Structure 1
């Protein structure tokens, strides 16, 4: 009989709900030393993080598939704030042992990013996903990730998302925070829907941002290697190395659908109307061009 992981609880740092294990070791995150050569990939949870990590790694390795399979995603590009007693899963432990240049993942909102990233003028790639698909993906992820708090029923989960009560806080504050700083800092702001619609175009944008020139052939190959189907079959990108005691794959796969518009299968007409009204109110002062369908 499996001994499942114990579901975590949320505590707050500066009003942002985070897993208790992260909050307990927050000093390590807050004082993390970044170097100018480091590249930060930032997203709200379930906004295409693993996808963009794989694209970036392939760009930096000139489309070398073998090189990109040198280790699982969380080892190649560690998760900054993931502080756990298990050193093999603790992102910050990996990072503290790595020499720059490092590619670093975070879900932290911009106000919690360690200051050393800004002092070092690090480049940041931010990916935003429309909130309806984002919350659907997050809901399924929280069902299968037994380290996360119990998600409860969909209707309650959607309400918590709208109130900013899920792990890593408000989606609205997250996407707006990076958007407002993108001209002042070295932030490349990308949209999940744009990458889905035209991956080659966005791969070229990313390559230019990180100072890499990729040929049309390499770009096309990277696009093929990072399709949803290809990544789902890639053991170095599909998180299949995470034990079943942590990821309950009977509830959901880590890479579940990767679609734009799946929210239509989850939102009732009433929920959609309520959400639309709330979205209009929350985004009134920030004109980020989100698309809910492509």
Structure 2
């Protein structure tokens, strides 16, 4: 099983504590017209991120919040772990530096310099719209798995999530949340704008769209598509085992070990 994101868990814990002391109107700030959670992101980090140099061998998971980033991230790390054990190469995802990458836009201003030291096969997650990623991601053609989810399900999950995630503004009712969701007044902005902007890269050879629904319906086929896209050749039996270890129930059962106290928050129902 892939190692837990200890550093990222620590960032989440600190952000929850700080957010609990803040007024609702201070929980978000706007950068380039898009709202972000104040205790997780900052102007300084976004400016520092501009210097980040992506590599052609980077493996990027791009998905709006609640589109399955944690689930797909787990699948990819299981694939990498299985491949590296099979080929007996030195593990690339178990070092201390691994924790730098849970989300590209979350961390401190020095993280992008530390990331330069991480060797081949960097796994990067992000909720950012395509136009707000560092330009090097596209010029260097890093491989991007674009995660998509039915807007109705995503909105429902986001609403439930906002009730327990202190850095996100909470809502008294679904109607109140729905108004903000439709106009993009939620963390990371409008899902519809997100889809529209990423659609401009739909034909890019280094971008592969995949939906939450198709992988949920046929996990093994989804695992096979992800493995093929990231060039991780595994046997049918190995792929089956990855699919089994990456089932929602298996992840939920191990969530305390992999995500600490946030396990129940991040892995709710998947419905």
Whether TM-score is above 0.5 comes out as: yes
- Distance in 2, Cα, partners of 1:166 & 1:196: 26
Q: How does 1:267-282 map to 2 (within 5 A)?
A: none
TM-score (norm 1): 0.73
Cα 1:69–1:180 shift into 2, 3 Å: closer
Contact 1:200 1:220 in 2 (8 A): yes
State the number of aligned residues: 243
Structure 1 SS opposite 2:60? strand
Structure 1 position 150, deviation (Å): 3.1
1:231 counterpart residue number = 251
Unmatched runs of 5 consecutive residues or more in structure 2: 1-15, 86-90
Taking the aligned partners of 2:194 and 2:202, their CA distance within structure 1 comes to 13
8 Å contact kept, 1:12–1:23: no
- Partners of 1:15 and 1:4 in 2: CA distance: 27
Deviation at 1:190, TM superposition (A): 0.2
1:241-271 per-residue CA deviation (whole Å, 9 max, x = no partner) reads 55xxxxxx8xx63210012xxxxxxxxxxxx
CA distance in 2, matches of 1:55, 1:77: 16
Among 14, 19, 42, which residue is 1:23 paired with?
A: 42
Deviation at 1:96, TM superposition (A): 5.3
Q: State the TM-score, normalized to the length of structure 2.
A: 0.79
Aligned counterparts, 1:35-184, within 5 A: 35-62=55-82, 70=94, 75=99, 77-83=101-107, 95=115, 98-184=118-204
Aligned-residue CA RMSD (Å): 2.9
**Pair 1:5-2:21 in alignment:** no
What is the CA deviation profile of residues 157-183 of structure 1, one whole-angstrom value per residue up to 9, with x for unaligned ones? 111111111111110111232233121
Give the drift of 1:136: 1.2
Question: Structure 2 CA distance, aligned partners of 1:257 and 1:202?
Answer: 19
Q: Which residue of 2 aligns with 1:186?
A: 206
Structure with the higher fraction of residues in helix conformation: 2
SS of structure 2 residue aligned to 1:62: helix
Pair 1:122–1:70, CA change in 2 (3 A): closer
Report what 2:10 is aligned to. Answer: none
| C-alpha spacing 1:236/1:206, structure 2 compared with 1 (3 Å) | farther
Aligned pair in 2 of structure 1 residues 236, 222: CA closer, same or farther (>3 Å)? farther
The verdict on how the C-alpha distance between 1:124 and 1:236 changes in structure 2, with shifts beyond 3 A counting, is farther
**Which residue of structure 1 lines up, in the alignment, with residue 88 of structure 2?**
none
Distance in 2 (alpha carbons) for counterparts of 1:117 and 1:236: 33
Q: CA deviation at 1:139?
A: 1.5
CA distance in 2 between counterparts of 1:18 and 1:97 reads 28
